[in-house]
Amino acid sequence: MTSSAALAATDSPDLGTLPTWDLTDLYPGMDAPELAADLDRTDAQAKAFQERYAGALAGLSGDALAQAIADYEAIDETLSRVMSFASLTYSGNMADPVIGKFYQSAQERVNAISTQLIFFTLEINRLEEEAVAARLADSPALARYAPWLRDVRLYRDHQLTDEVERLLHEKYVVGRAAWNRLFDETIAGLRFPIGGQDLTCAEALNRLSDRDPAKRREAGEVVGRVMGENSRLFALITNTLAKDKEIEDTWRRYPSPTAARNLSNRVEDEVVDALVSAVKAAYPDLSHRYYAMKATWFGQDHLDYWDRNAPLPNDADRSIRWDEARDIVLGAYGRFSPDLATLGRRFFDNPWIDAPVRPGKAPGAFAHSTVPSVHPYLLVNYQGKTRDVMTLAHELGHGVHQILAGKQGHFLSDTPLTLAETASVFGEMLTFRALLAAETDPARRRLLLASKVEDMLNTVVRQIAFFDFERRVHTERRAGELTADRIGEIWMAVQTESLGPALRFDEGYRHYWSYIPHFIHSPFYVYAYAFGDCLVNSLYAVYQDAEQGFADKYLAMLTAGGTLRHQDLLAPFGLDATDPAFWQKGLDVIRGFIDELAQTPT
């Protein structure tokens, strides 16, 4: 991949023309004069900003503080634009050493510039509450930034001295960021010899949903073997990052490994604990029950792990072309809200999506918000499965959410991860419900329902199991380094507990923890998926019974970005995530789907 222009759209005989993104809306290329000029300009602005404001915040009026925040925001947005371009270029081809060098150089330069700005939020957090409240009352300009100030000041009890904060910031590029890069480039470079081909990680994992059971088994065994051959390296990365997190958490006085993530998500510890407890208590009713049913559909007492996501025996496993997937998703969005579909169509009418699978490309899928002055980009690895259509609907939900929230500006558009998953999961639900409503054939309807149940189990049960795995690993790491075998034992214990007695595992499966990037890049991120799924299930129930105007309230919720907390965002819909019954409502939707499957003739 080159960063100076869009890759040509890729023609697939089965999938049609798959789009690739064009990053020139950010910068024309890695060596673009515009990029170099932005870095030089922000470097000078950061120096001037530090000279003007360091040590002076306590004496500023409300209007003067508002101007300082606006200046700080402008510098940060430019630096974010640079890093968006660098990270997206890198995601397109992690195997290219020239791109890798550019990505690392961009990180180091941006890190050096932003080090000059560290003092700003530290000094804001040293202001007394009364002084901040008085300035907010006196200055409408500062009041606009009240949500940002609220969120910055959440970290007052956890910030360190200026010198230590600078040290941690400067060392990031050769610390956590370097270990992240090592993980990414290792995964991107792995090849899995399956069916006479050397497949990428994304392609190998996709074989686990192949119609041919022999191909699924081969893929399952090869993935386990290749990951096992590299397990010592992945264990080293995991141990190092867990220890790094423990050290920083201790210095910052976080009481548990999950506390920092909960704070960044603006969600109370007890709300997360209630979600996790509710899902774990529901394992027997949900995953255990469903996979036992699926085993019987395959005429077996147990289901091998490589068959967990297998198509059902009578599933035609039709390949879905890209243009059909686009129309399915946009049609579902449009029936809910024409405005939402109009926003979504922009991603297809412009080169904002990178869809083909190719060597070196980041596996999985994501939506990158970049900065409000540009637009988001979507990365998927589209292979024509129904799950790929749902992934497209999911990432498009993120994309339209980011466009709507972008109206709040750079600082106020950022949404906590828990609510950042709402639009994406809601988009999936709209797409599924549209497909289900249009299906009149009972057998095909059953297949759709089973596919949705599996997606929901992957989103809710599997992600909470991932969270539980992380919590056990980070907790045990505090007593000393964990071997790859020990991490595998924890993985197997969590997987057996969450997936149930109907699943059958072999030794190779104990290495499957090692390819999951969330554990490396965003510790404890994963519960946000379950949070979003259960929230959307409750939200969709309100939508089905709602009076006219639900769509308008929904779009207003997305447009709020990071200005409101989850309590305020959900209040117009009569929902409250602090109510323990809230999570049961979401889980009951999955139970209902499984009940319907149990009553449907095979």
Reported as a single tens digit per residue, the pLDDT across 443-474 is 888 888 998 999 999 999 999 999 999 999 99
pLDDT band at 5 (very low <50, low <70, confident <90, very high): very low
The confidence score (pLDDT) of residue 10 equals: 66
The confidence score (pLDDT) of residue 545 equals: 81
Arithmetic mean of pLDDT, 557-582: 88
The three-class DSSP label of residue 344 is: helix
Measure the CA angle with vertex 103, ends 84 and 82; round to 5°. 30
Whether the pLDDT of residue 547 is over 80: the answer is: no
Closest-CA residue to 367 (of 336, 341, 344): 344
How far from 312 is each of 209, 317, 432, CA to CA, in Å? Answer: 10, 9, 18
Arithmetic mean of pLDDT, 145-172: 95
Arithmetic mean of pLDDT, 197-201: 94
Cβ neighbours, 10 Å, residue 110: 20
Averaged pLDDT score across all residues of the chain: 93
**Between 542 and 398, residue with greater pLDDT:** 398
Whether the pLDDT of residue 3 is over 50: the answer is: no
pLDDT band at 519 (very low <50, low <70, confident <90, very high): very high
Q: How many CA atoms lie within 13 A of 387 on its CB side?
A: 22
Task: Name the least confident of 155-164, 216-225, 435-444.
Answer: 435-444
Arithmetic mean of pLDDT, 505-534: 94
Tokens linked to 487: 């991490």
> Which residues are CB-contacts of 81 (< 8 A; sequence separation ≥ 6)?
26, 27, 38, 370, 371, 373, 374
The confidence score (pLDDT) of residue 579 equals: 82
The confidence score (pLDDT) of residue 576 equals: 87
The sign one gets for the Cα dihedral 327, 400, 420, 158 is positive
Closest-CA residue to 237 (of 515, 527, 491): 515
pLDDT band at 1 (very low <50, low <70, confident <90, very high): very low
Q: What are phi and psi of 17, to 5 degrees?
A: -85, 115
Per DSSP, the residues of 214-270 read: HHHHHHHHHHHHHHHHTHHHHHHHHHHHHHHHHHHHHHTT-SSTTHHHHHHTT--HH
Cβ neighbours, 10 Å, residue 498: 23
The confidence score (pLDDT) of residue 98 equals: 97
The confidence score (pLDDT) of residue 43 equals: 98
Task: Parse the chain into domains and list their residue ranges.
Answer: 21-162
Q: What is the pLDDT of residues 344-391, one digit of tens each?
A: 999 999 999 999 999 999 988 999 999 999 999 999 999 998 889 999
**DSSP element (H, E) containing 276:** helix 269-281
Tokens linked to 416: 């906590």
Q: What secondary structure letter does DSSP report for 303?
A: E
Tokens linked to 132: 């901040």
195: alpha, beta or left? (left if phi > 0; alpha if psi -120 to 50): left
The sign one gets for the Cα dihedral 484, 489, 495, 501 is positive
The confidence score (pLDDT) of residue 12 equals: 62
> Which residues are CB-contacts of 255 (< 8 A; sequence separation ≥ 6)?
none
The confidence score (pLDDT) of residue 254 equals: 97
The Cα 496–Cα 454 span in angstroms is: 17
Give me the residues paired with residue 82 across strands: none
Arithmetic mean of pLDDT, 180-199: 95
Percent of the chain beyond pLDDT 70? Answer: 97
How many residues are there in the chain? 602
The Cα 593–Cα 530 span in angstroms is: 17
Tokens linked to 271: 């709300």
Report residue 154 CA to chain centroid gap.
23
Give me the residues paired with residue 503 across strands: 303
**Between 327 and 538, residue with greater pLDDT:** 327
Q: What is the pTM of this model?
A: 0.86
The Cα 188–Cα 307 span in angstroms is: 25
Whether the pLDDT of residue 77 is over 70: the answer is: yes
The confidence score (pLDDT) of residue 446 equals: 87
Q: What secondary structure letter does DSSP report for 337?
A: -
* Residue 456 buriedness (CB in 10 A; 0-12 / 13-18 / 19+): buried
Give yes or no for a contact between 430 and 336, defined as CB atoms under 8 angstroms apart: yes
- Pure H helices in 442-526: 442-459, 461-477, 484-499, 518-521
The Cα 51–Cα 577 span in angstroms is: 45
Q: What is the pLDDT of residues 490-517, one digit of tens each?
A: 999 999 999 999 999 999 999 999 999 9
Closest-CA residue to 386 (of 346, 434, 335): 434
Whether the pLDDT of residue 195 is over 60: the answer is: yes
For 300-439, strand residue ranges (E) read 303-304, 353-354, 366-368, 377-379
The confidence score (pLDDT) of residue 46 equals: 98
The Cα 516–Cα 363 span in angstroms is: 10
pLDDT band at 438 (very low <50, low <70, confident <90, very high): confident
* Domain 21-162: assigned CATH number: 1.20.140.70
Q: What secondary structure letter does DSSP report for 481?
A: P
The Cα 61–Cα 507 span in angstroms is: 65
> Which residues are CB-contacts of 86 (< 8 A; sequence separation ≥ 6)?
102, 103, 106, 107
The sign one gets for the Cα dihedral 91, 93, 94, 97 is negative
* Residue 52 buriedness (CB in 10 A; 0-12 / 13-18 / 19+): exposed
Torsion, CA 86, CA 87, CA 89, CA 91, rounded to 10: 160
The confidence score (pLDDT) of residue 6 equals: 42
The sign one gets for the Cα dihedral 555, 560, 564, 566 is positive
